[in-house]
Homo-oligomer: A and B are copies of this chain.
């Protein structure tokens, strides 16, 4: 008789964003005339940049002609894309990454979920709290997290590193030594960052204790401050301890177009074994590459026009972030994020729980956000708004929130 992976049954039943969707549906069913403004899910709204559209059309035309048709892609991805990445994302920041250290994928969610395949089940992970749920859930699926403790909202075998207003949302080095450390900067959900000196401490720590850092840099394009690193490889010694995940979802609006990549330097080893080779084997065996036309489109993001156009998109979203942050500060909220990230993280007023504030905003302002507690126990009492809406909707949402009156936190 076949046996299922019982670890799946340990996962808490409901998923944050489906809970939100249900509540919103119940509200709109009861109040069909109210205009809901959604600043919840981190999904982009601007259309693809003209340079990307042009590349998609061009690549599509190639696929229509026998001489230019492309079948299976190279295992790691097309060299034209990997070269553009090596040049623009790394060389331009003083970092040497070889093209065979770059693995093209269909996005950072797949990579952050699949990367666990190449590690033993007996590795203890450390995560920030709050955190993007995929890191913990995928480790739970692999049996790496122990048991779920519903009363604590935590897994028994995970090192949680609280990120709260008290430590300026920057995790401290953990007391217990982890084997795998997930870091995400600019952070989802808090929108916080750490500077290069602070990230260097993590790199030094990981090298000292023999941990690997899985560094999720999906939001690096939103960094506006000079001393915030875009890549962990800007830190000395990161190549011997860090894997970096990147995405086109947020820097070029590819959430529905799907493209990302993972960097694994050849210096990263466990004994004599290069982690790079393990991932090459994993991807070569279980994945057949991102579509040719999407890889061409991704390359267009690095063209002069593409860079200019996607920068404008990011400026548009970051203007929304400023509108949200300034408006909330005006209204007396305690707010962080929104400077180097498209997320605004606010403290709920009047000691409301995250879900109480969710209901309050939905009912009173018809605005949808994301309860901080959905990202982990230390997110309780916080709330996330995203800058990915339209400018008009963002403005209106903030006006509505301000009309609810000033708060004290």
A57: chain B residues within 8 A (beta carbon): 57, 60
Among A224-232, A287-295, A317-325, the one that faces the other chain is A287-295
A294 CA / B141 CA spacing, docked (Å): 29
A118 lies within 8 A of chain B by Cβ: yes
**Which residues, 97 to 111 on A, are CB-close (under 8 Å) to B?**
106-107, 109-110
A3 lies within 8 A of chain B by Cβ: yes
Number of A positions contacting B (CB below 8 A): 77
A234 lies within 8 A of chain B by Cβ: no
A2: chain B residues within 8 A (beta carbon): 119, 123, 179-180, 210-212, 270
A1: chain B residues within 8 A (beta carbon): 179, 209-211, 270
In the complex, the answer to whether B286 meets A113 with C-beta atoms within 8 Å is: yes
Among A8-16, A88-96, A338-346, A398-406, the one that faces the other chain is A8-16
A150 lies within 8 A of chain B by Cβ: no
Of the candidates B70, B286, B289, the one whose C-beta lies within 8 Å of that of A134 is: B286
In the complex, the answer to whether A288 meets B45 with C-beta atoms within 8 Å is: no
User: Which residues of A approach B to under 8 Å, CB–CB?
Assistant: 1-6, 8-9, 11, 15, 41, 43-48, 50, 53, 56-57, 60-61, 63-66, 68-73, 106-107, 109-110, 113-114, 117-120, 122-123, 134, 137-138, 141, 179-180, 209-212, 253, 255-258, 270, 273, 275, 278, 281-282, 284-294
In the complex, the answer to whether A141 meets B117 with C-beta atoms within 8 Å is: yes
Closest residue on chain B to residue A259 by CB atoms: B291
* Distance between A108 CB and nearest chain B CB, rounded to angstroms: 9
Closest residue on chain B to residue A257 by CB atoms: B291
A287: chain B residues within 8 A (beta carbon): 106, 109-110, 113
* Distance between A312 CB and nearest chain B CB, rounded to angstroms: 14
In the complex, the answer to whether B43 meets A71 with C-beta atoms within 8 Å is: yes
A60 CA / B256 CA spacing, docked (Å): 11
A41 CA / B113 CA spacing, docked (Å): 30
A284: chain B residues within 8 A (beta carbon): 15
Closest residue on chain B to residue A254 by CB atoms: B291
* Distance between A299 CB and nearest chain B CB, rounded to angstroms: 15
* Distance between A289 CB and nearest chain B CB, rounded to angstroms: 7
Given contacts A3-B120, A5-B120, A48-B64, contact A289 B258 (CB under 8 A): yes
Copies in the complex: 2
Q: What would 22 A/B residue contacts be, using CB atoms closer than 8 Å?
A: A2-B211, A3-B119, A4-B119, A4-B270, A9-B273, A15-B284, A41-B72, A44-B71, A45-B71, A53-B64, A56-B63, A56-B293, A57-B57, A71-B253, A106-B287, A113-B286, A134-B285, A255-B288, A256-B289, A256-B292, A257-B293, A258-B288
A85 CA / B209 CA spacing, docked (Å): 51
Closest residue on chain B to residue A210 by CB atoms: B1
The list of the 10 closest CB pairs from A to B, nearest first, reads: A113-B286, A1-B210, A3-B120, A43-B71, A70-B256, A2-B179, A71-B255, A56-B60, A47-B69, A53-B64
Closest residue on chain B to residue A7 by CB atoms: B120
A73: chain B residues within 8 A (beta carbon): 256
Given contacts A63-B47, A291-B256, contact A286 B210 (CB under 8 A): no
* Distance between A194 CB and nearest chain B CB, rounded to angstroms: 22
A32 CA / B251 CA spacing, docked (Å): 45
A41 CA / B72 CA spacing, docked (Å): 10
